[in-house]
Amino acid sequence: MRASLIVTLFFAGALVGLGVETAAIWPSLPARVATHFDWSGAPNGWAPRPVLLSVMAGVCLMEILLFATLGGVRLSDRRINLPNKAYWLAPERREATIDAIRLWIRAFVTVMTAFTSIVFIMAMRANVDPAQPRLSTLVPWMTASVLVITLTMLGWLYRRFHAPPDA
């Protein structure tokens, strides 16, 4: 299966998963929900339930737009900043280079979408018990994991385009 299809399926899966979980949890949420939590998981910001839905919808819409536009944008050579740019954008390699950059962008947006979807689900689940809402202590670990994934992806991008293969 092509890498771009796999990334697209993961992206769609994160959004569908969020939608399914939202539909399942939403009726159980109180009228006023915790929308912000400190690092220990204690709530420190509250809003009416529709505000949470609006924020979730806005973030998802932004992620969809980023996935669709940044991953499909036409890149002119002057807007691309790569080491050994002349080599990577030579006519015989240009299409593969552009495809790799687009795939990287879409993969990065997918990682961020999966992360925000999981955090939204955890926040909704934390609010099911209105007497004691508490966000999972896994969130800081998830945040650290996303940082490691991001650094790994940047490392791949650096290695992929740092020097021509024959250098």
Q: What are phi and psi for residue 24, nearest 5 degrees?
A: -75, -40
- 121 lies in a domain? yes
Residue 167 has pLDDT above 60, yes or no: no
pTM, 2 dp? 0.89
* Residue 116 belongs to domain spanning: 3-161
What's residue 108's pLDDT? 96
- 44 lies in a domain? yes
Work out the average pLDDT over 143-156.
96
Helix axes 91-126, 138-161, angle to 10 degrees: 180
Q: Which residues pair with 47 in a beta bridge?
A: 33
* DSSP 8-state code for residue 148: H
- 70 lies in a domain? yes
Kindly give, in sequence order, each residue whose CB lies less than 8 Å from that of residue 100, ignoring residues fewer than 6 positions away: 160, 161
Phi-psi category of residue 112: left, alpha or beta, with phi > 0 → left and psi -120 to 50 → alpha: alpha
- 166 lies in a domain? no
Where does the pLDDT of residue 120 fall: very low under 50, low under 70, confident under 90, or very high at 90 and above? very high
Q: What is the Cα–Cα distance from 19 to 56, expressed in whole angstroms?
A: 10
What's residue 9's pLDDT? 96
Work out the average pLDDT over 135-161.
93
Model pLDDT for residues 55-110, shown as the tens digit of each residue = 999 999 999 999 998 766 677 788 888 888 899 999 999 999 988 988 999 999 99
What's residue 21's pLDDT? 97
- 49 lies in a domain? yes
- 19 lies in a domain? yes
- 136 lies in a domain? yes
Q: What mean pLDDT value characterizes the chain? A: 91
Return the sign of the alpha-carbon dihedral for residues 14, 18, 24, 28.
Answer: positive
Q: What is the Cα–Cα distance from 89 to 25, expressed in whole angstroms?
A: 49
Kindly give, in sequence order, each residue whose CB lies less than 8 Å from that of residue 15, ignoring residues fewer than 6 positions away: 60, 63, 64, 113, 117
Residue 154 has pLDDT above 90, yes or no: yes
- 167 lies in a domain? no
Where does the pLDDT of residue 16 fall: very low under 50, low under 70, confident under 90, or very high at 90 and above? very high
What's residue 14's pLDDT? 97
**Number of separate domains in the chain:** 1
Where does the pLDDT of residue 136 fall: very low under 50, low under 70, confident under 90, or very high at 90 and above? confident
Q: Are 90 and 143 in contact (CB under 8 A)?
A: no
Report the candidate in 138, 136, 133, 143 with the shortest Cα–Cα distance to residue 45.
133
Report the candidate in 74, 82, 73, 72 with the shortest Cα–Cα distance to residue 7.
72
Name which residue leads in pLDDT, 158 or 130.
158
What's residue 1's pLDDT? 66
Name which residue leads in pLDDT, 80 or 123.
123
Work out the average pLDDT over 27-40.
91
